[in-house]
Amino acid sequence: MSVLVYTESENGKFKKTALEVASYAKAVATQLGTTVTAVTVNAADTSELANYGVDKILNVTNSALEKFSAKSYAAVIKQAAEKEGAKVVVVSQSADSKYLAPLLAVGLDAGYASNVMEAPSSTSPFTVKRTAFTNKAFNITTINTDVKVVGLSNNSFGLVESSASATSEDFAPTLPEAGVTVQSVDKATDTVTIADAEIVVSAGRGLKGPENWGMIEELAGVLGAATACSKPVSDLGWRPHSEHVGQTGKPVAANLYIAIGISGAIQHLAGINASKVKVVINTDPEAPFFKAADYGVVGDAFEVVPALIEKLKAFKAANA
């Protein structure tokens, strides 16, 4: 009756969220007095998982799974859960995992709690805390089915190292007709995505135009951060919609969110509430964002950001 965790990889390498969901699965397994089994798909090297509490790894290697298919991946995880007799299945909240989780829940006839923030406060009944109202509140939820699916909000639990010696075996589940065929993928491969990022650098209309985003990208580069933007910026076409943060855009649960030239509309603040530390740089001391921020700089972004880049470069050099 192990806890099963789906550990996502990209180009054979585990995403950071895979290690986070493994850490979470270990915490749940400890509470339940059981073990953790990870299911991997086309991962090149799975040895890292043992460092995060995984006891057993089911390796799925199949060229038909090279491109993501929610239906096929859900079928893989379902069959792994059934094979292991898993009572709890943990997935991340990446775009792909959010896509497959509802299909998996129906397949397992399992209750599904998404956007979960913490380890269960109780395992009987199985009680979790999740975000609701676009991060304006939390909802304490019990999952009442025999099998449970938990979607862990990215960056909420963190990485917890835990030495274990994992056994590994090949697993060859039956794949269904996918029904959906990927024709093309348009993805920047050399930048950090908002979903994976621990730090997000976001800018708004205060930047005055798309030509001024160079310094935002440079700041993000120094910090190893993802870039993001406010809704007006995406509406104006200065930046792609995939960078739009807010109630109708992407939620951000980063460790550090730096907002530059963003006034802080309620819909934007809802999207970033789950971030732990917020820094605001804005010329207007009355900007509502200052009320939501931990640290603030009242000043012109065109002066503050280049200076901050230099200070951070010096800090990085001194702490390398």
Partner 1 sequence: MKILVCISHVPDTTSKINFTDGDSKFDTNGVQYVINPNDEFGLTRAMWFKEKQGASVDVVNVGGAETEPTLRKALAIGADSAIRVNTEAKDGFQVAKELAKVVKDGGYDLVIAGRESIDYNGGMVPGMLAELTGANFVTNCINLEVEGTNATATREIDGGKETVATSLPLVIGGQKGLVEESDLRIPNMRGIMMARKKPLNVVDAANAEPETASIKFEKPAPKGAVTLVDAGNLDELVNLLHNEAKVI
Question: Residues touching partner 1: how many (CB under 8 A)?
Answer: 93
Q: Residue 90: beta bridge partners?
A: 5, 150
Q: CB of 264 within 8 A of CB of 281?
A: no
Contact residue for partner 1 among 12, 136, 161, 236 (CB under 8 A)? 136
Q: Which of 19, 119, 166, 194 binds partner 1 (CB under 8 A)?
A: 194
* φ and ψ at residue 216, rounded to 5 degrees: -70, -45
Q: How far is the CB of 281 from partner 1 (least distance, A)?
A: 8
Shorter beta-carbon distance to partner 1: residue 152 or 195: 195
Residue 108, H or E segment: helix 95-108
1 is an interface residue for partner 1 by CB under 8 A = no
The stretch among 22-30, 41-49, 93-101, 205-213 that binds partner 1 (CB under 8 A) is 93-101
4 contacts: CB under 8 Å, gap ≥ 6: 25, 36, 37, 38, 39, 77, 80, 81, 84, 86, 88, 89, 90
Among 44, 139, 167, 284, binds partner 1 (CB under 8 A): 139
How far apart are alpha carbons 46 and 102 in whole angstroms? Answer: 26
Exactly one of 45, 61, 167, 315 binds partner 1 (CB under 8 A); that residue is 315
Task: Show contacts with partner 1 in window 18-37 (CB under 8 A).
Answer: none
Of positions 1, 44, 95, 236, contacts partner 1 by CB under 8 A: 95
**Which tokens go with 235?**
């509406």
Bridge-based pairing of strands 256-260 and 199-203 is parallel
Nearest residue to 78 via CA among 58, 49, 52: 58
Residues 195-254 touching partner 1, rule: CB under 8 A, are 195-196, 198-199, 223, 235, 241-242, 244, 247-249
Q: Is 311 helix (H, G, I), strand (E, B) or coil?
A: helix
Tell me: does residue 292 bind partner 1 (CB under 8 A).
yes
DSSP class per residue in 141-161 = EEE-SSSEEEEEPTTSS----
Q: Least Å distance between CB 2 and partner 1?
A: 21
Task: Pick the stretch among 40-48, 49-57, 206-214, 308-316 that binds partner 1 (CB under 8 A).
Answer: 308-316
The binder of partner 1 chosen from 120, 204, 206, 296 (CB under 8 A): 296
When binding is defined by CB under 8 A, the residue of 181, 211, 286, 317 that contacts partner 1 is 181
Amino acid at 218: E
Question: H or E element: which one contains 137?
Answer: strand 137-143
